[in-house]
Structure formats: structure tokens, C-alpha cells
Amino acid sequence: MIAVDQLGKRYGRIAALDGLSFEIKKGGVAALVGGNGAGKSTVLRILSTLTAPTDGDAVVCGYDVVQDALDVRRRIGYLAENTPLYGDQRVVDFLRFRAALKGVAKGERRERVQEVIRQCSLQGVERRRIATLSRGFQKRVGLADALVHLPEVLLLDEPMVGLDAVQVPAVRELIGSLAGRHTVLFTTHSREEAEAVCRQVLHLQRGRLVTAAPPVPRTPASGGIYLEIRGDHEAICQGINALAGVRRVETAGEGDGRWHRLVIRTDVGRDVRPDLFALAANHQWVIREIRLEEGDPCADS
């Protein structure tokens, strides 16, 4: 749904983006995380066709952001970092005006506007002039604007900034709830914020991706832990067997003499990896690989 390939953006000698590639599947929610100047806003501005890349490609809903900019615009809702709103308009009038501008059929506008007012918790301020609202409310008016035409893709630049402690969880929940029906990319400077909302976290630093989505911490369910370890075989098996939560230790194929390949069966939901590291350190055994075995259908649990 969103595909970015070797994207680059230069401002004179500054490379705001440098060979950035990622994909977000239809109905997925992803976060771009990074400090100030990492390039987050630049990515969203390119995807929303406000600025052109100087290198690489970006495709949204199958349309190229440069060649098919109009097709892209019709399918996206964009919340800018500094939400530009028409301050002297009332919330409801602004949203109706925006709905009309974005091609929502006349007969559906009232309903769409009521829906986004509800989604963004704007009940009670519909008749207020936007300029008189707090920053948090203005942000949510911007969010309502981004949503009003039911776009396939939502690009939200810092949607949590300016919100108070009560509003943040509500907006978090709202963004999470968009998954499935919409494809969402939002930016934040907070990794915790990103991980609270979605699994696909793209960490941006100086215009490059530092790590792809870090795996969500898992505990072994039906599988076990695969381990490659060096040391005295018997002592290793005894030591691991004695750990709380371990059911048994199996040999996983041939070791190469010094290295032993083991699978450790544990109680469901028990993650003994930290204990394994501690045990190995105590005995000066060397671990060269340790990983959770995923959903092995043959494993009993």
C-alpha cells in the first residue's frame, strides 16, 4: 500500500533522506520514530506529494507520488506537523467545508462530519471557533480533517504532540482502531509511544533506517529455545535442566565437536533466555546463538 524504495531528499548539501526503503501493507499501521531532524516530516511530505524526492521512488496505493500526484492525493488523509487550520471558522463548518473540498458526496457530508467528530472526541466544541481551542483540540480537528473523506491511507505527522495526558491514550486508541480499514503511517519522537500503538516501528536517524521493526517481545508458547553453546555437554544439560521453568533439554542434530545444538522445552509462557545467559556466564560456557523456536506444530507444550 505504501512502498518506499531508496528514497532520497537533499536540501542543498543537507541529505534529509538517504536511501530509505520500507513497505507498509494494506491495513497496516506503522510508526516512523526519530529525533528532531531525522527526516520524519520529510517522508510524510513526500508521501503526501507536497515535496518531491530527489532520489528513489515512493508509491502510495499503487500510484507514484511524482507522476500520479493527483491520484495519490485523492487517496490520502494528511495531518501536517503544524496543523494549518482556518482559525475563524467553527469546527463543524470547517469539517463540512473540507469534506466538500475532498469530494465527499453532499448527502453523506453531515454523517461523515458527525462520525469524525465522535471519533476524535470533538463533541461539545463543534460550534467553537477553531482559533479559540487549545492546541490538543486543534490537533484533533486536524485529525478529523484527515479522516473525513475516509481515505485509504493516513499520514499523520506527530499526532500526539500537544495533547494532554487524557487525550494521548484516546488518540493512541483511535490510531490503533484505524488498522484494517486504513493504512496508517504516523511519526513520533517516542519509541514507547510507537510501540504502544503498532508493531511496525521504523527507526529513522539522519535520513536512514536504523533498524527495521524490532520483534515484539515474545515468550515461547508451544515451541522452545534453540541454543548453540560451547562447554562440557553433560554439565550444560544438567545446569539447564535445573533451571526453573525448564521441562527438558533435547539435542538438535549433530554438534561440531565443541559446539552443542540444543532445544530447550519450557513451561508455556516462560522465557528462560535471561537465565541461560546468566548460567552460561557463571560456567564460562559460550553462547553463539539463542533464539525462540516459533510455533513448532510438533512440539508439545
Ligand X SMILES: Nc1ncnc2c1ncn2[C@@H]1O[C@H](COP(=O)(O)OP(=O)(O)O)[C@@H](O)[C@H]1O
With binding defined as CB under 6 A, does residue 98 bind ligand X? no
Q: Interface with ligand X by CB under 6 A: which range of 8-16, 102-110, 171-179, 191-199?
A: 8-16
Closest approach, Cβ 80 to ligand X, in A, equals: 11
Taking the least distance from each CB to ligand X, the nearer of 38 and 198 is 38
Closest approach, Cβ 294 to ligand X, in A, equals: 34
With binding defined as CB under 6 A, does residue 197 bind ligand X? no
Instruction: Give me the residue whose beta carbon is nearest to Mg ion.
Output: 41
Closest approach, Cβ 107 to Mg ion, in A, equals: 38
Please choose which of Mg ion, ligand X, none residue 11 contacts, taking the beta carbon within 5 to 8 angstroms, the exact cut-off set by kind.
ligand X
Residues binding Mg ion: number (CB under 5 A): 3
Task: Give the footprint of ligand X on residues 23-52 (CB under 6 A).
Answer: 34, 36-42
Taking the least distance from each CB to Mg ion, the nearer of 55 and 81 is 81
With binding defined as CB under 5 A, does residue 42 bind Mg ion? no
Q: How far apart are CA 232 and CA 128, in angstroms?
A: 74
Taking the least distance from each CB to ligand X, the nearer of 133 and 202 is 202
Q: How far apart are CA 88 and CA 83, in angstroms?
A: 14
Closest approach, Cβ 283 to ligand X, in A, equals: 46
Please choose which of Mg ion, ligand X, none residue 239 contacts, taking the beta carbon within 5 to 8 angstroms, the exact cut-off set by kind.
none
| DSSP symbols for the chain | -EEEEEEEEEETTEEEEEEEEEEE-TT-EEEEE--TTSSHHHHHHHHTTSS--SEEEEEETTEETTTTHHHHHHHEEEE-SS----TTSBHHHHHHHHHHHTT--HHHHHHHHHHHHHHTT-TT-TTSBGGGS-HHHHHHHHHHHHHTT--SEEEESSTTTT--TTHHHHHHHHHHHHBTTBEEEEEES-HHHHHHH-SEEEEEETTEE--SPPPPP---SSSEEEEEEES-HHHHHHHHHTSTTEEEEEE-S---SSEEEEEEEE-TT---HHHHHHHHHHHT-EEEEEEEPP--TT---
With binding defined as CB under 5 A, does residue 183 bind Mg ion? no
With binding defined as CB under 6 A, does residue 16 bind ligand X? yes
Taking the least distance from each CB to Mg ion, the nearer of 37 and 180 is 37
Task: Give the footprint of Mg ion on residues 106-135 (CB under 5 A).
Answer: none
Task: Give the footprint of Mg ion on residues 70-99 (CB under 5 A).
Answer: 81
Q: Catalog residues that contact ligand X under the rule CB under 6 A.
A: 11, 14, 16, 34, 36-42
